[in-house]
């Protein structure tokens, strides 16, 4: 039997895994080199490597190696090979050339000299010359120049072996399949699947990890679904031998070991649909299950006991400039979820940045370096044992202050006025206690100028107090107003047991106009994470007049979450996007959020990352809402229109006055509302009245009372809210 020398190329970091794989396939004298893994064997070994290798990029049948420091040496060495034994005159060819020398300074020139030499061999024998086809040649020739030595071979694979043939719609920057297989092997999946353990990918994208894991579980050859091979245009190809090897590989496909399950989740519904198409094409529907699900809602499956298993994940890497801060939130959330839900499991997480790996907050016991195309990445392995505790993260840690429902007034000396206010806070605390317990929210209003002497709003965000003073009347002495404000702070500190060494977020609130709400009051940049139903949201208590979350709109946001499933959601004047987060977590097919402020749109992007939601599915757009609506050519099923009362942003030519402009604004929003869709129109103008023209033109219902939360029941006019639909369908008419 003729013996050949082969070269299996692979991405960086896979060589040590490729050596045992090639040995198991029958390769002899297997050695790892700079270029890849070399091995000897008959033609059948080369065929089996093409069909079965999960790790190689290409399988090269090596023809020759010679010295060549100059272009003429390269030409002569190539011309001395018996090309008529490998390539038919009527065939097409392509040259993959790599390397340089003083005389050969670019790969294009090197490939050209190789092509000239091959073509001249045919001409010298009076044969027609083969033509070049760089896209789909009959024969692809591999030439590598390294340190004055040239190796020449025939690419038996044709195209890279990572292209298995099952990916029909690759997502953005997809993970290469052979790299995914290497990650699974390094993460211990082969041993876990033989023990009947599950595999879960919480951010599965197009399902590469799941599919590669399922192919391992069923012993399905990696190349079984490829439609075209490089050796098919080689004159030395043996169709009979190949067909035998392919049939043998097909016969080895088995059922997965008992207990093995593969599950994938992703916040991007379109990514899940792509995964479903690939899974169905391979007939793996019964083994792999994928579902749309945001990261922060991930839990360990409960249909059977799963004390052990593997979590593997390839989160976004944040390659775009300025996105790293957002990605840190995503990686932090990932670490918290897997630590909470998957104790006893193993985890493998890919990242392209060390600081993102640190953001996970868990101790990695092993790291491996790879590259995906031109991007250097790292695999971090975690043992999710109780001893591997989350590291503290000052930017995201929760307050250790006692919750409102637990704290009592300490026996600290307070002034008479502060004591009176403290007693009111305790009374409000008791009134809200049962509601807080059932509402699953950690941010609420405790006090809102209940007592005229203390005209402040007191809010609590995950145990952190936030005090905002309403501007006192001019008749109130400035010194007396200052004294009362300090008494209010003392009462808050006492009731909430806020440490003396921690300042209270305190603001002197005045009515804001135009862009004043966007002006910074401080530069601390500190944000905390709060809970509101299923959502986790970032708030900043110090730097802006507003905190990033309008507490009085909580019921409306929860309603949007309940109604959003499968719908296309539009959030106009979206602010920091809390409503978008609720709609997305509620299963919105897509969302589009529009605002003019870069600050708040970045905030929304961070909130998306914190909840494990995809920016590709949930678009964030900087634009003037009115201008954008006039140019919009698509329809939405669910719309939130929550404009400011007045705006004179520098980014627009005119001003917005909600009373004056309500008809124009609502009409524009309704023009993009689909038939049967719902628009919620809300604003905070205390004296607002809905225009009669709008009530005549559309089906409207005033739902203000239903959207005022329990903690704002003293302020029935804190906002106004209406539900709109087109008159072709009135869901509130009596049957």
Q: 3-state DSSP call for residue 13?
A: coil
pLDDT band at 729 (very low <50, low <70, confident <90, very high): low
- Among residues 393, 397, 367, the alpha carbon closest in space to that of 382 is found at 367
Q: Is the pLDDT of residue 104 over 90?
A: yes
CA atoms of 424 and 491, how far apart (whole Å): 10
pLDDT tens-digit readout, 131-155: 999 999 999 999 999 999 999 999 9
Print the SS3 string covering 540-588.
CCCCECCCCCCHHHHHHHHHHHHHCCCCEEEEECCCCCHHHHHHHHCCC
Please state, in angstroms and rounded to a whole number, the distance separating the CA atoms of residues 411 and 400.
20
**Mean pLDDT, residues 417-423:** 94
Q: At what angle do helices 416-439 and 478-495 cross, to 10 degrees?
A: 50
Q: Can you tell me the distance from the alpha carbon of 294 to that of 135, in angstroms, rounded to the nearest whole number?
A: 40
**Helix 177-186 crosses helix 15-24 at what angle (to 10 degrees)?**
90
667 pLDDT above the threshold of 70: yes
Report whether pLDDT(735) > 50: no
Residue 471: what pLDDT? 82
Q: What would the mean pLDDT of 184-192 be, rounded to a whole number? A: 98
Sheet order of strands, 568-572 included:
618-622, 590-595, 568-572, 636-641, 673-683, 720-725, 699-702
The count of other CB atoms within 10 Å of the CB of residue 645 is: 17
How much of the chain exceeds pLDDT 90, in percent? 78
Contact 408, 427 (CB under 8 A): no
Residue-level pLDDT at 733:
45
Alpha carbon distance 546, 567 (integer Å): 30
Q: Identify the residue whose tokens are 């509620």.
A: 586
Q: How many helices (H) and strands (E) does the chain have?
A: 19, 30
Name the E strands within 404-478.
443-448, 456-461, 464-470
Q: Which of 179-188, 203-212, 398-407, 443-452 has the lowest mean pLDDT?
A: 398-407
Strands (E), 252-374: 262-266, 288-292, 310-313, 346-351, 364-372
Helices (H), 158-298: 177-186, 189-194, 208-217, 239-251, 269-281
Average pLDDT over residues 568-595: 96
Q: Look at residue 652 in the predicted model and tell me its pLDDT.
A: 63
Give the model's confidence band at 69: pLDDT under 50 very low, under 70 low, under 90 confident, else very high: confident
- Higher-scoring residue by pLDDT: 513, 237: 237
Q: Of 100, 228, 220, whose CA–CA distance to 163 is shortest? A: 228
Q: What is the pLDDT of residue 540?
A: 96
Look at residues 154, 137, 136 and name the one whose alpha carbon lies nearest to residue 43.
154
Please, are residues 218 and 256 in contact by the beta-carbon 8 Å criterion? yes
What is the separation of C-alpha 669 from the centre of its chain, rounded to a whole number of angstroms? Answer: 29
> What is the pLDDT averaged over residues 308-319?
84
Are 50 and 59 spatial neighbours (Cβ–Cβ below 8 Å)? yes
**Beta strands in 33-104, from DSSP E residues, in sequence order:** 37-41, 58-67, 92-98
**Mean pLDDT for all residues in the chain:** 91
Q: What is the mean pLDDT of residues 602-629?
A: 93
Q: Over 60: is that where the pLDDT of 175 sits? A: yes
User: Mean pLDDT over residues 19-27, rounded?
Assistant: 98
Q: Please report the pLDDT score of residue 411 as a whole number.
A: 46
Beta-bridge partner residues of 58: 9
pLDDT of 171 > 60? The answer is no
Inter-CA distances, 655 with 167, 648, 688, Å: 50, 4, 18
Q: Strand 673-683 relative to strand 720-725: parallel, antiparallel, unpaired?
A: antiparallel
Residue 396: which pLDDT band, with cuts at 50, 70 and 90? very low
DSSP-assigned states of every residue in 101-160: -SS--SHHHHHHHHHHHHHHHHHHTTPPPPEE-SSS-SEEEEEEEETTEEEEEEESSSS-
Identify the three-state secondary structure at position 674.
Answer: strand
Q: Enumerate residues 6+ apart whose C-beta is below 8 A from 321.
A: none
Neighbours of 78 (CB within 10 A): 26
Query: Where residue 375 falls among pLDDT bands split at 50, 70, 90?
Result: confident
Percent of the chain with pLDDT over 70: 92
Mean pLDDT throughout 382-398?
72
Q: Which domains does the chain have, with CATH numbers?
A: 4-155 (3.30.2130.30), 177-219+256-383 (3.40.50.150), 416-510 (3.30.750.80), 537-725 (3.40.50.150)
Q: Which pLDDT score, from 0 to 100, does residue 412 have?
A: 56
Q: Would you state the pLDDT for residue 614?
A: 82
Confidence of residue 173 (pLDDT cuts 50, 70, 90): low
Least confident window among 39-43, 353-357, 398-402, 415-419: 398-402
Residues in the chain: 735
Q: Sorting pLDDT into bands at 50, 70 and 90, what band is 728? A: confident
Question: What is the rounded distance in angstroms from the CA atom of residue 260 to the CA atom of residue 183?
Answer: 18
State the SS3 of 200-231.
EECCCCCCHHHHHHHHHHCCCCCCCCCCCCHH
- Dihedral class, residue 530 (left if φ above 0, else alpha if ψ from -120 to 50, else beta): beta
* 393 confidence band (pLDDT: 50, 70, 90): low
Q: Any idea what DSSP says for residue 295? A: G
Cα-based distances in Å from 631 to 580, 634, 635? 22, 9, 12
* Whole-Å CA distances, 115 to 78, 122, 132, 140: 9, 11, 8, 11
Model confidence at 651: pLDDT above 80:
no
The structure tokens 């139903």 sit at 533
The confidence band for 478, taking pLDDT boundaries of 50, 70 and 90, is: confident
Q: What are residue 56's phi and psi, to 5 degrees?
A: -75, 150
> Sign of dihedral through CA atoms 221, 225, 231, 235?
positive
More confident residue, 613 or 111: 111
Whole-number pLDDT of residue 391: 75
pLDDT, greater one: 306 or 170: 306
Whether the per-residue pLDDT at 52 is higher than 90: the answer is: yes
Mean pLDDT, to the nearest integer, of 291-297? 88
Mean pLDDT for 497-513 is 78
pLDDT at residue 320 greater than cutoff 80:
no
Return the closest-CA partner of residue 641 out of 554, 585, 567, 722. Answer: 722
Backbone angles phi, psi at 582, to 5 degrees: -65, -45
pLDDT at 588: 93
Residue 473 has pLDDT above 80, yes or no: no
Cα first-last separation, the chain: 85
Contact yes or no for 128/168 (Cβ under 8 A): no
267 pLDDT tier (thresholds 50, 70, 90): confident
| Structure confidence at residue 649 as a pLDDT band (50, 70, 90) | low
Question: Which residue shows structure tokens 């023809």?
Answer: 63
Q: How many Cα atoms within 13 Å fall on the side-chain side of residue 119?
A: 14
Categorize the per-residue pLDDT at 671 as very low, low, confident or very high, splitting at 50, 70 and 90. very high
CB 311 within 8 A of CB 372: no
The predicted pLDDT at position 113 comes to 97
**Mean local confidence (pLDDT), 473-483:** 83
**CA–CA dist 155, 93 (Å, integer):** 11
pLDDT greater than 70 at residue 169:
no
d(CA 421, CA 200): 52
Residue 721 has pLDDT above 50, yes or no: yes
pLDDT in tens, 695-710: 999 999 999 999 999 9
Q: Which two tokens stand for residue 520?
A: 């910074």
């Amino acid at each position: 039997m003729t013996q050949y020398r082969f070269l299996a190329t692979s991405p960086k970091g896979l060589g040590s895994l490729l050596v045992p794989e090639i040995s198991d396939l029958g390769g002899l004298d297997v050695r790892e080199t700079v270029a890849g893994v070399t091995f000897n064997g008959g033609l059948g070994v080369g065929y089996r490597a093409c069909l079965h290798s999960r790790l190689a990029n290409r399988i090269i049948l090596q023809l020759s190696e010679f010295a060549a420091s100059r272009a003429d040496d390269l030409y002569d060495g190539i011309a001395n090979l018996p090309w008529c034994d490998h390539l038919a005159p009527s065939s097409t060819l392509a040259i993959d050339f790599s390397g340089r020398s003083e005389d050969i300074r670019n790969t294009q020139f090197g490939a050209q000299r190789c092509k000239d030499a091959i073509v001249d061999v045919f001409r010298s024998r009076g044969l027609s010359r083969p033509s070049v086809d760089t896209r789909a040649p009959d024969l692809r020739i591999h030439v590598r120049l390294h340190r004055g030595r040239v190796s020449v071979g025939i690419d038996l694979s044709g195209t890279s072996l990572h292209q298995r043939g099952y990916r029909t719609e690759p997502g953005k920057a997809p993970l290469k399949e052979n790299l995914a297989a290497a990650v699974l092997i390094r993460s211990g999946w082969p041993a876990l699947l033989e023990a009947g353990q599950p595999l879960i990918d919480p951010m599965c994208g197009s399902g590469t990890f799941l599919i590669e894991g399922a192919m391992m579980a069923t012993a399905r050859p990696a190349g079984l679904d490829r439609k075209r091979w490089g050796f098919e245009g080689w004159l030395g190809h043996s169709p009979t031998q190949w067909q035998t090897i392919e049939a043998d590989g097909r016969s080895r496909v088995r059922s997965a070991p008992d207990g093995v399950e593969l599950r994938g989740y992703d916040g991007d519904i379109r990514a899940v649909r792509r995964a479903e198409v690939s899974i169905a094409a391979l007939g793996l529907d019964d083994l792999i299950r994928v579902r749309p699900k945001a990261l922060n809602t991930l839990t360990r499956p409960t249909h059977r006991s799963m004390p052990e298993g593997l979590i593997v994940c390839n989160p976004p890497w944040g390659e775009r400039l300025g996105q790293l801060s957002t990605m840190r939130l995503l990686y932090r959330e990932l670490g918290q979820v897997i630590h909470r839900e998957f104790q006893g499991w193993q985890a493998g997480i890919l990242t392209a940045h060390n600081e993102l790996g640190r953001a996970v907050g868990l101790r990695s016991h092993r790291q491996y370096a790879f590259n995906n195309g031109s991007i250097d990445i790292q695999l971090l392995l975690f043992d999710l044992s109780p001893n591997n505790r989350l590291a503290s993260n000052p930017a995201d840690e929760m307050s250790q202050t006692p919750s409102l429902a637990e704290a009592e007034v300490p026996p600290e000396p307070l002034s008479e006025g502060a004591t009176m206010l403290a007693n009111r806070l305790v009374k409000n605390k008791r009134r809200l206690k049962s509601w807080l317990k059932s509402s699953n929210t950690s941010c609420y209003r405790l006090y809102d100028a209940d007592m005229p002497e203390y005209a402040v709003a007191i809010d609590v965000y995950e145990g952190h107090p936030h005090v905002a003073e309403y501007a006192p009347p001019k008749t109130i002495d400035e010194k007396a107003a200052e004294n009362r404000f300090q008494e209010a702070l003392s009462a808050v500190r006492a009731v909430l047991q806020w440490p003396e060494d921690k300042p209270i977020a305190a603001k002197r609130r005045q009515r804001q106009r135009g862009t004043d709400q966007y002006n910074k009051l401080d530069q601390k940049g500190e944000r905390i994470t709060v809970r509101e139903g299923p959502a986790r949201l970032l708030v900043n208590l110090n730097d802006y007049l507003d905190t990033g979350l309008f507490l009085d709109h909580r019921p409306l946001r929860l309603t949007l979450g309940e109604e959003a499933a499968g719908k296309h959601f539009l959030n106009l004047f979206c602010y920091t996007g809390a409503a978008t987060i609720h709609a997305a977590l509620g299963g919105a097919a897509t969302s589009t959020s529009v605002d003019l402020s870069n600050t708040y749109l970045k905030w929304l992007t961070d909130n998306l990352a914190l909840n494990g939601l995809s920016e590709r599915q949930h678009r964030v757009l900087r634009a003037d809402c009115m201008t954008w609506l006039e140019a919009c050519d698509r329809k939405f099923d669910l719309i939130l229109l929550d404009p400011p009362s007045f705006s004179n942003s520098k980014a627009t030519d005119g001003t917005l006055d909600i009373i004056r402009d309500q008809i124009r604004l609502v009409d524009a929003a309704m023009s993009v509302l689909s038939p049967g869709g719902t628009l919620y129109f809300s604003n905070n103008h205390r004296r607002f009245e809905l225009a009669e023209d709008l009530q005549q033109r559309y089906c409207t219902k005033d739902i203000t009372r239903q959207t005022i939360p329990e903690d704002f029941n003293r302020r029935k006019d804190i906002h106004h809210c209406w539900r709109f639909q087109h008159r072709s369908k009135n869901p509130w008419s009596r049957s």
